[in-house]
Amino acid sequence: MAETETEGRPLEIVSRAQARDRDAFEQLVEDHATEVYRLAASIVGAADAGDVTQDTFVAAWQQLPRLRDATRFRAWLRQICVNRARNWLRSAARRGVPVGLDTQDFLADRTDFRRVVEARTVIEPAFERLNADQRAILALHYSMGYSIAEAADALRVPVGTAKSRLNAALNVLRDAVAEPERSKAEASS
């Protein structure tokens, strides 16, 4: 019943949480933490998913009184998660590669990327080279299985924009994945 529930929870729970009821918010955390965690992992990777999930719920707690339509709680939470995940990636990019930790390994990574043909090993580095928006749309649609409309809502862009972003991101990923295969083919010819 969309009018009275949000994803199985009575709207009253959201309303109570909006009124700063900690127990109600804890119920919302228990209901939605796994989905938020998986969405975060899809965008930033499992290693950082816990931090992004925590950031998401802290922001949700802080801003919940500003949520005007309680039926949109789940979609709104998804928006916060995507926003936090993108910020996380941008922040990580700004911090750069901690060469003080891994200069040698990092330089070696590039070579591994080019020589390894096993699927995951090739796709993962390619995925990690995508920008935050590209990662987000691929994660929302392919990893989480959201419809284009739901993905567009999470990204706060029109459906048409989401479609074009999805297509562009997929093409970038295809090209990135194809590069080492081309190199390998050239090397063997």
Partner 1 sequence: MNDAQITEYLRSRSRVAPPPSLAGSIMAAVDTAPTLRSWFASLVPAVAAVAVAVAVLMLAFVIGRGPQVGPGPTDSDQPAPSASIVPSASPSDAGPPLSLLRPGDVAEIPATDATGEWGTIRIERMEDIGGYSDAPIAEDVGLSGEFFVIEFFVSYTAERMPDPAQFGSLDWSLRPIDPNAEHFFVTEAKSFERVGGLGIRPDDALPVFPGAIDIFTTPTEGTIAFQVSRREANLDLELVYARTTPQVAIPARIAGPAPEPVPVATPTPGTAAPGYVTVEGLPFPVLDSVDADALFTQPDQCTNPEDGYTVTFPDDWYTNTETGGVPACSWFTPDFFEVSAPGVAPDDIWIFIGVVEGQVGYTSNTPFYLSEAVTVDGRAGRRTEYNPNPNAKPDYRGYDYVIPLGQDGPTLVTSTNSDVASDYALAKAVLDRIMATFTFGD
Window 55 to 94, contacts with partner 1 (CB under 8 A): 57-59, 61-63, 66, 80, 83-84, 87, 90-91, 93-94
Nearer to partner 1, 1 or 47 (CB): 47
Residues 132-171 binding partner 1 (CB under 8 A) are: 138-139, 142-145, 170
* Amino acid, res. 23: D
* Amino acid, res. 76: W
Site string for partner 1, 99-138 (x = CB under 8 A): xxx-xx-xxx-xxxxxx---xx-xxx--x-x--------x
Q: 57-92: b or e for each residue (b if 16 or more CB lie within 10 Å)?
A: beebeeebeebeebbebbebbbbbbbbbbbebbeee
C-beta separation of 185 from 114 below 8 A: no
Nearer to partner 1, 2 or 39 (CB): 39
Is the torsion defined by CA of 39, 72, 63, 151 positive or negative? Answer: positive
The dihedral formed by the CA atoms of 44, 64, 151 and 12, expressed in degrees to the nearest 10: 120
**Among 6, 9, 13, 25, which residue sits at the site for partner 1 (rule: CB under 8 A)?**
25
Q: In which element (H, E) is residue 24 found?
A: helix 22-44
Q: Contact between 182 and partner 1 (CB under 8 A)?
A: no
Shortest distance, position 3 Cβ to partner 1, whole Å: 28
Shortest distance, position 5 Cβ to partner 1, whole Å: 21
Nearer to partner 1, 4 or 156 (CB): 156
Nearer to partner 1, 4 or 102 (CB): 102
